[in-house]
């Protein structure tokens, strides 16, 4: 999967590249409007991560350029301008999703995977991890080809874990993914723990090994032993 | 006291004092002039009598006219002094006591000394004085009436531009983005006033705008460094060891708080800037019910009892802001609750109340909607209720907080939509 990251903050760009590379993505970067136009013109990407405010021009113009040239690259806007107008403008101009800064890298990875899944009409909507298979179009989870019943939150949690497998995900990132940023619970992750416990139990009942590991109390990691 | 009333009062009191003093002075001056006139007449009479005696060597006949009587009394002693006095005598004509001016002086006829007495009635003088006082009083009354009418109608009209300016200032709203327009007046001072006020309003508006832009820009600019910190943290925990987990978790939480604070400040600024203009008819019943479902886990984790009593309620509001409004109210009711406590929510077409159990002492009622106000035990940002208030203000919803046995927030929903 080839990704172009158009972000003028090099520190942020580096973080994104570092995280996504581990996920198996091929990453290229552009730090300003012109190098971005150049790269977009020359190559095709599976997804473009696009910042709105760029030196030399607006990310929204790049979006229009893509559409005008009938490029089919998926676009995920990452913007500091957390304003409704930008979000609406961006989505109306053909962006696939919008992520406001600051964001968790795990969240970015999940959104990216979702976009690519949606875009990938011909391909499979199945995500596999050992004996676990998730049918993302039907939102059903199979363990050894047998469907298991999960609540909506447990399903989202499992999908999030598998997309970000082998990575440590902070409790903050998980909470934000499941409940959005509306519920303020910085000092209380108790009910997050309840959901994880329930998911663990359901996986355990179906004979899965302990995939969900707690990492020093600051987060969780979904991986094989 | 109102300007015009005060003005009228000063005017009338000063006019009254001047009229009183001048009436008194007038009275005494006229009185003394009239008295002098009478005395002069008496002296003329005296001279005539003396002349008569000198010429005829006998007393003239005593006379008794209406206003003047002349009498001669034979006197035993020689020490008659000449004197003019005020006296009261029984009037021959009217039969009652009347004031007289009396001149007595000695006259000698062929060696006999007589006391000549001339009376002059002062009734006329008194009458004249009474007339004068009456007329003065009447003039005063007319004057007061004129002053009153001038103050009441003419002054009001003259000060009209001032009162207009005042009313415009009272209704001046920094949020409305309407500049203050004041009409020209024929009075120079009022023009000056209007000019100064307009300039001041313009300056204040500019300052306010730049302040708002500053807040917005500052919040925006903070997003990027926050994004960098957060992304580096996400990478850092991949290789963290047990010793680093606690500080890392603290940094995570602090970053998240900072980021939320920033978003909330941005939200407040945007509401203030009127950037949420799209309004639609929001079904509060549905919204409230959904929110309670959304918060179900939080409610359960604190073991809270909920009592929902919702009726149909629709209001024109921005969809996102309505969501934030209910969100903040409900999350407050959960956050500031005690374990095993109660949340009550009732909704009618005109009112919404949300109450929760909790201790009273930590809250200052007057400041509860202020930015960054926090109760003693609050761990929040101190902006939740400020946002609620700002949203309510933007959509003409009146909001109140009270504490009976529970914390209670009441929203009075306007029946007439402003849009």
Q: What is the mean pLDDT of residues A126-142?
A: 89
Output the CA torsion A145→A148→A154→A157 (10° steps). Answer: -10
> How far off is chain B from A70, nearest CA to CA, in Å?
31
Q: Which residue spans within B91-243 are E strands per DSSP? A: 97-109, 112-121
For the stretch A83-97, pLDDT in tens is: 556 667 777 778 899
Q: Do B237 and A188 touch (CB under 8 A)?
A: no
Q: What CATH number should be reported for the domain whose range is A2-119?
A: 3.40.50.2300
pLDDT confidence of residue A4: 95
A218: chain B residues, CB-CB within 8 Å: 237, 240, 245-246, 248-249, 252
Provide ipTM, 2 decimals.
0.88
Per CATH, domain A126-222 is 3.10.310.70? no
pLDDT confidence of residue B297: 79
Q: Do A12 and B266 touch (CB under 8 A)?
A: no
> How far off is chain B from A218, nearest CA to CA, in Å?
6
pLDDT confidence of residue B287: 92
Q: What is the mean pLDDT of residues B173-202?
A: 84
DSSP bridge partners of B351: B412
pLDDT confidence of residue A187: 58
pLDDT confidence of residue A193: 86
What tokens does B76 get? 């035993």
Q: Do A104 and B242 touch (CB under 8 A)?
A: no
Mutate to test the interface with B, among A181, A184, A185, A214 (most CBs of B within 10 A): A184
Mutate to test the interface with A, among B212, B227, B292, B329 (most CBs of A within 10 A): B227
Percent of chain A with pLDDT over 90: 46
Low-confidence winner among A65-79, B77-91, B242-256, B391-405 (lowest mean pLDDT): B77-91
The CA distance from B298 to B385, in Å, is 19
Percent of chain A with pLDDT over 70: 92
pLDDT band, very low/low/confident/very high, at A79 (cuts 50, 70, 90): confident
The CA distance from A32 to A54, in Å, is 6
Q: Do B231 and A102 touch (CB under 8 A)?
A: yes
Q: Are B330 and B409 in contact (CB under 8 A)?
A: no
Give the N- to C-terminal CA distance of chain B in Å, as an integer. 39
Q: What is the mean pLDDT of residues A106-124?
A: 85
Q: Do B297 and A170 touch (CB under 8 A)?
A: no
**B41 Cβ contact list (under 8 Å, min separation 6):** B120
Domains and CATH numbers, chain B: 3-154 (no CATH), 190-272 (1.10.287.130), 280-412 (3.30.565.10)
Q: Do A170 and B234 touch (CB under 8 A)?
A: yes
Q: What is the mean pLDDT of residues B183-209?
A: 88
Parts of chain A belonging to CATH 3.40.50.2300: 2-119
B224: chain A residues, CB-CB within 8 Å: 9, 12, 80, 101
Mutate to test the interface with A, among B234, B274, B318 (most CBs of A within 10 A): B234
> How far off is chain A from B301, nearest CA to CA, in Å?
7
Parts of chain A belonging to CATH 1.10.10.10: 126-222
Q: Do A102 and B237 touch (CB under 8 A)?
A: no
DSSP state of B366: G
Place of tokens 């606690």: B246
> How far off is chain B from A221, nearest CA to CA, in Å?
9
Q: What is the residue-wise DSSP string for B152-188? A: IIIIHHHTHHHHHHHHHHHT--GGG---------SSH
Chain A contact for B375 (CB, 8 A cutoff): no
Place of tokens 């807040």: B215
Among B residues 294-333, those touching chain A with beta carbons less than 8 Å apart:
294-295, 297-298, 300-301, 320, 323-324, 327, 331
Chain A contact for B223 (CB, 8 A cutoff): yes
Q: Are B168 and B182 in contact (CB under 8 A)?
A: yes
> How far off is chain B from A217, nearest CA to CA, in Å?
7
Q: What is the mean pLDDT of residues A168-183?
A: 84
B381: chain A residues, CB-CB within 8 Å: 184
Give the CA radius of gyration of chain A: 18
- What own/partner pairs with CB < 8 Å and gap ≥ 24 does A12-16 have? A12/B224, A12/B227, A12/B228, A12/B231, A15/A105, A15/B228, A15/B231, A15/B232, A15/B234, A15/B235, A16/A49, A16/A105, A16/A108, A16/B231
Q: Is pLDDT at B326 greater than 70 in this prediction? A: yes
Mean per-residue pLDDT of chain B: 85
Q: Is pLDDT at A137 greater than 70 in this prediction? A: yes
């Amino acid at each position: 999967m080839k990704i172009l990251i158009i972000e003028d903050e090099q520190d942020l760009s580096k973080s994104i590249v570092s995280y996504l590379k581990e996920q198996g993505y091929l990453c290229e970067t552009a730090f300003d409007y012109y190098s971005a136009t150049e790269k977009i013109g020359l190559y095709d990407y599976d997804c473009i991560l696009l910042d709105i405010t760029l030196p030399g021009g607006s990310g929204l113009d790049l979006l229009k350029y893509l559409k005008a040239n009938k490029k089919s690259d998926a676009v995920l806007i990452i913007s500091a301008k957390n304003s409704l107008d930008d979000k609406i403008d961006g989505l109306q101009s053909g962006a696939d999703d919008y992520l406001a800064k600051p964001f968790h890298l795990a969240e970015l990875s999940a959104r990216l995977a979702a976009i690519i899944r949606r875009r990938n009409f011909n391909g499979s909507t199945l995500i596999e991890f050992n004996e676990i298979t998730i049918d993302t179009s039907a939102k059903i989870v199979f363990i050894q080809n047998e469907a298991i019943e999960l609540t909506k939150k447990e399903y989202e949690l499992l999908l999030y874990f598998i997309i970000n497998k082998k990575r440590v995900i902070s409790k903050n990132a998980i909470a934000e993914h499941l409940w959005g940023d509306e519920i303020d619970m910085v000092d209380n992750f108790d009910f997050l723990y309840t959901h994880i416990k329930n998911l663990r139990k359901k996986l355990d009942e179906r004979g899965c090994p302990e995939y969900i590991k707690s990492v020093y109390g600051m987060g969780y990691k979904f991986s094989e032993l | 006291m109102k300007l015009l009333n005060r003005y009228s009062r000063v005017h009338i009191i000063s006019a009254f004092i001047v009229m009183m003093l001048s009436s008194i002075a007038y009275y005494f001056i006229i009185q003394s002039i009239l008295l002098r006139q009478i005395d002069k007449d008496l002296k003329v009479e005296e001279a005539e009598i003396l002349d008569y005696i000198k010429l005829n060597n006998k007393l003239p006949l005593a006379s008794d006219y209406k206003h003047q009587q002349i009498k001669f009394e034979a006197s035993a002693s020689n020490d008659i002094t000449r004197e003019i006095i005020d006296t009261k005598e029984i009037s021959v004509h009217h039969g009652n006591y009347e004031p007289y001016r009396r001149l007595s002086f000695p006259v000698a006829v062929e060696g006999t000394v007589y006391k000549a007495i001339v009376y002059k009635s002062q009734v006329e003088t008194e009458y004249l004085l009474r007339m004068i006082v009456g007329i003065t009083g009447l003039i005063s009354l007319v004057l007061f009436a004129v002053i009153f009418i001038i103050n009441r109608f003419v002054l009001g009209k003259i000060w009209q531009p001032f009162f207009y300016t005042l009313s415009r200032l009272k209704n001046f709203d920094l949020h409305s983005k309407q500049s203050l327009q004041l009409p020209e007046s024929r009075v120079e001072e009022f023009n000056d006033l209007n000019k100064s006020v307009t300039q001041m309003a313009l300056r204040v508006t500019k300052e306010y705008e730049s302040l708002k832009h500053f807040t917005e820009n500052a919040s925006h600019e903070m997003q990027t460094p926050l994004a960098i910190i957060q992304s580096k943290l996400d990478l850092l925990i991949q290789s963290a060891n047990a010793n680093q987990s606690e500080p890392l978790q603290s940094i995570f939480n602090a970053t998240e708080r900072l980021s939320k604070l920033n978003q909330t400040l941005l939200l407040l600024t945007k509401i203030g800037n009127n950037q949420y203009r799209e309004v639609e008819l929001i079904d509060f019943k549905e919204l409230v019910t959904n929110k309670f479902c959304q918060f179900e886990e939080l409610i359960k984790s604190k073991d809270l009892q909920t009592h929902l009593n919702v009726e149909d309620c629709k209001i024109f509001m921005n969809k996102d802001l309505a969501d934030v409004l209910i969100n903040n109210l409900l999350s407050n009711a959960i956050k500031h609750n005690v374990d095993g406590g109660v949340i009550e929510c009732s909704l009618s077409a005109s009112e919404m109340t949300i109450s929760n159990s909790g201790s009273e002492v930590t809250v200052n009622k007057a400041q509860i909607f202020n930015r960054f106000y926090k109760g003693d035990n609050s761990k929040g940002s101190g902006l939740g209720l400020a946002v609620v208030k700002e949203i309510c203000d933007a959509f003409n919803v009146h909001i109140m907080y009270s504490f009976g046995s529970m914390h209670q927030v009441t929203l009075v929903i306007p029946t007439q939509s402003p849009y």
